[in-house]
Amino acid sequence: MFRFLVSAVAVAGLAFPALAAEKSGDKMSPLEFTLKDIKGSPVELSKYKGKVVLFVNVASKCGLTPQYKGLEALYEKYKDQGLVIIGVPANEFGKQEPGTNEEIEKFCTAKYSVTFPMMSKVVVKGKGIDPLYEYLTSVDTKPAGKGDISWNFEKFLVGKDGKVAARFAPKTAPDDAALVAAIESALK
* Active-site residue (options: 20, 28, 62, 139): 62
173 vs 170: CA distance, rounded Å: 8
Q: Tell me 47's DSSP state.
A: G
Q: Give catalytic status of residue 108 as yes or no.
A: no
Q: From start to end of the chain, where are the E strands?
A: 34-36, 42-44, 52-58, 83-89, 155-158, 164-168
109 vs 115: CA distance, rounded Å: 7
Do 88 and 125 meet the contact criterion of CB atoms below 8 Å apart? no
Q: How many residues does the chain have?
A: 188
Positions annotated as catalytic residues are 62
